Structure 1
Amino acid sequence: MEHTESREMRITRVFKAPIELMWEVWTAPEHIVNWWGPNGFSNTIHQMDVQNGGEWQLTMHGPDGTDYLNKSIFKEIIPLKKIVFEHFNPHFITTVVFEAIGQETQIDWSMLFDTADMREIVIKAHKADEGQKQNVEKLERYVANLQSEPKAG
């Protein structure tokens, strides 16, 4: 097996939420727009076609007003199990694996870059490692808030 640690950023976290909810907040544009990206960023989702070969295009709006256009292609979608997408510029493959642990969900989120150098460049230029941690913390808060809202009906 190929050793990819030097080319990879990975974070694993257990969320106090059922797997169905975690899947929904990862795959529904009306949810992901609210938590995607590091602290201070907001998003405009242009397209999010969550199926094999589907496109995901969004603009991340930085706290300094800079816009970052992002384009990805979904490579593998296994409902309630796995999302794989290829991100362009910079190029990396993101794999998100969902695992139910009772009423909680473990997420294993990795980003695999073409080279160790590219990983280092992205970390230095964009603080991507810290950004990924902040992104997971935003997701955690978002899911907690969703679950604390009174249910309609």
Structure 2
Amino acid sequence: MKSDNFKLTISRIIKAPPSIVWKAWTEKEHFEQWWIPEPIKCKVVQMDMTPGGGFETLMSENGKDFQPHVEGCFLQIVPRERIVFTTVLTEGWKPHEPWLSMTAIITLEDVGGSTKYTAQALHKNPEDNNKHLEMGFEEGWGATIDQLEKLAMKLA
């Protein structure tokens, strides 16, 4: 993991091709299996993977009582290569006041049949960056990448 004053970055090699990692990221039934660290459960409310499309997930510790997790808007989609979303906008570019302001940039790079998966979380100020770091960015995002790899290997 790397950090500067406004950005946190984590990168891993996933032992599956970008097309499979893309499938795990973009298909609701797969995405729900890895997006939040286990044992917490995820439910996708909205996932319109087009620029301006809404992105909303809920989480639950018991699998029944789901609470808001992420609400945002996709900014850029490049199939099998790049996903950019933000929590400061919702569907249709509507301004939003999230519990954590950030823009995420996810890149998938083919490296000999595997995928270099890089996730960046960009923040508006060092305070938000530090808040995200203190919440467990490395552990949480690292755990979800591990879960993504496990699922991608099953899908491959």
**TM beyond 0.5:** yes
How far off its partner does 1:66 sit? 7.1
Tell me which residue corresponds to 1:76: 76
2:132 is equivalent to residue 122 of structure 1:
yes
Tell me which residue corresponds to 1:146: 155
Quick one: structure 1 residues 80 and 63, their matched pair in 2 at CA, closer, same or farther if it must change by over 3 Å?
A: same
Q: Secondary structure at the match of 2:55?
A: strand
Tell me which residue corresponds to 1:150: none
What is the TM-score with the length of structure 1 in the denominator?
A: 0.85
Q: Secondary structure at the match of 2:56?
A: strand
Unaligned runs of at least 5 residues, structure 2: 89-97
Tell me which residue corresponds to 2:11: 12
Alpha-carbon distance in 2 for matches of 1:33, 1:71: 15
How far off its partner does 1:67 sit? 2.3
Quick one: structure 1 residues 77 and 66, their matched pair in 2 at CA, closer, same or farther if it must change by over 3 Å?
A: closer
Tell me which residue corresponds to 1:109: 119
For 1:38-77, list aligned pairs within 5 A. Answer: 38-62=37-61, 67-77=67-77
> How many matched pairs?
143
**TM-align CA RMSD:** 1.9
What is the TM-score with the length of structure 2 in the denominator?
A: 0.83
2:114 is equivalent to residue 99 of structure 1:
no
Alpha-carbon distance in 1 for matches of 2:154, 2:70: 27
Tell me which residue corresponds to 1:151: none
Alpha-carbon distance in 2 for matches of 1:62, 1:87: 22
Unaligned runs of at least 5 residues, structure 1: 148-153
How far off its partner does 1:137 sit? 1.1
Q: Percent identity?
A: 24
CA displacement, residues 15-74 of structure 1 (integer Å, 9 cap, x when unaligned): 111111111111111110010012322111111101111001110224696723320100
